[in-house]
Amino acid sequence: MLPEIRDYARLVRDFRWNTPERYNMGVDACDRWAMASPERPAIIEDNANGVEITTYGALRDLSNRLANVLRAQGVRVGDRVAILLPQTLTTAVAHIAIYKLGAIALPLASLFGAEALEYRLRDAGARVAITNAAGVGKLRSIAPPLPDLGLILSTDGADGAALDFHRLVAESSADFTPLETGANDPALMIYTSGTTGPPKGALHAHRVLLGHLPGVQFPHDFFPREGDLFWTPADWAWAGGLLNVLLPSLRFGVAVVARRFDGFDPEAAFEMMARLKVRNAFIPPTALRMLRAAPVARGRHALELRTLASGGESLGAETYAWGRETLGLVINEFYGQTECNLVLSSCASVGVSRAGAIGKPTPGHDVAVIRPDGTPCDPHETGQIAIKRPNPVMFLEYWGQPRATRDKFIGDWMTTGDQGYVDNDGYFFFVGRDDDVITSSGYRIGPTEIEDCLLRHPAVAMAAAVGKPDALRTEIVKAFVVPRAGVTPSPELVADIQSFVRTRLSAHEYPREVEFVADLPLTTTGKVIRRLLRARG
């Protein structure tokens, strides 16, 4: 979809969307390849049983069987079907089957507790849940029972009211005619992470997959290439794992590695990437910082990475430099939201890369930093990052919340709630979420720059900066620091960290308070939940 033109200005100028009227993303991600090359590898599972490869032909048959099961159980067009599973073949099968059926997939993170699940399932009115034994246990604990949830399929066998997923699929027919959906028909609903309020269901159309393709190709150096193999530690229940990796990679005919991690393990990640010869990886900044802080020499693992991209929160100049020095790769940072993803990106091979920046507009997307009245900001003027509609990757609406949908826009600009600025060369820089920006002594301070500086300190493994109320300065900067292994917190270390930031940034940005913590509160997508840190004071 993105022509290999090594000239950014020409790429942007010549790009045109070509979205068909009728389009089904389950067919495009699976059946197209299954018909042309049924033995082509699609999903490579790396688990306790070893490496198991599923072809496109098998993926089509399994998804057809599941679509028949769901139809026989009464699932109709527009019904919401929840997927509560980790990275497994079954997760991919479920998504493709639901899209072919014309229902709406509702991915849910396996890390969610019963309360988080209840909110999303009840709000979405989910009719079906596809899960495992752990998920069945969580659903069983929800009281009163969810009135709309009439069917639970368990991949670990029948359990009370839950039916045996694999038995039903095995007994079903592999012949299924996918629904000829429109490109604008609903297909997928992903709930926002809820870092600043109750989660909202962002409803997407089938066209969302087509809308993501340039945003995947650009940071992955005109993906795909011969021999490419994609992996991400990001949960496939998150837009980053599902729409940045799984579905686009399958659509391009590139196999995807499925690997379950019970908590991200840097050593295991290095080993797995080397053993399977992973060529393309999307690794969120938090996981990259864990790789950077891990007591493991990269030389122990002969990586064959061709591209490495990151997004979801700010990467920072320090992690960017580590990628070049240690991995020998330029980490291409990108930006987007659940509502409208992969709209800004870097691509070092065409000269779009700058430390600390989140890139330039991905071809096909009109992005700006705007003022509250919707007018564009001047270079280096801080405002809100916004994306202009119409846009094929943009959400249709917030489920059941028309007012929240309207409030998301200023004219034709979809606002993000993220503060940023554009420099004189057109690079976008992330300052912070609206609620995360710190106001101190008249200055507006973004936490990202402070956190990036903290990471340069040799004693710091991870860090987050927030504003703490202060009678004199409105707020002061407070840092929560996870020390490196073997480091003992002390008042002397606090003073050293404060001096380190003061001398490298400025006197108004250094943390006047430093608190050492064992870990940081993270969303299921790996973003720091700063509101929880602010609440701790």
Please state which of the ranges 276-290, 332-346, 496-510 shows the lowest mean pLDDT.
Answer: 496-510
Using a 10 angstrom Cβ sphere, with 0-12 exposed, 13-18 middle and 19 or more buried, the burial of residue 424 is exposed
How many percent of the chain have pLDDT more than 70?
Answer: 97
Helix (H) / strand (E) containing 513: strand 513-516
Q: DSSP of 86-122, one letter per residue?
A: -SSHHHHHHHHHHHHHT-EEEEE-TT--HHHHHHHHH
- Over residues 468-523, the pLDDT tens digits come to 988 777 789 999 999 999 999 999 999 999 999 888 876 778 899 999 999 999 87
Domain ranges of the chain: 54-205, 435-536
- Over residues 18-50, the pLDDT tens digits come to 999 999 999 999 999 999 999 999 999 998 889
User: Among 276, 286, 330, 292, which Cα is nearest to 308's?
Assistant: 330
Using alpha carbons only, how large is the chain's radius of gyration in Å? Answer: 23
Measured CA to CA, the distance from residue 46 to residue 307 in angstroms comes to 21
The CA distances from residue 69 to 98, 145, 170, 172, in Å, are: 11, 23, 10, 6
How many residues make up the chain in this entry?
537
The identity of residue 43, as a single letter, is: I
- Average the pLDDT over 362-379 and give the result: 97
Superfamily of domain 435-536: ANL, C-terminal domain (3.30.300.30)
User: Among 482, 509, 2, which Cα is nearest to 286's?
Assistant: 482
- The CATH class that applies to domain 54-205 reads alpha beta
217, 1 Cβ separation under 8 angstroms: yes
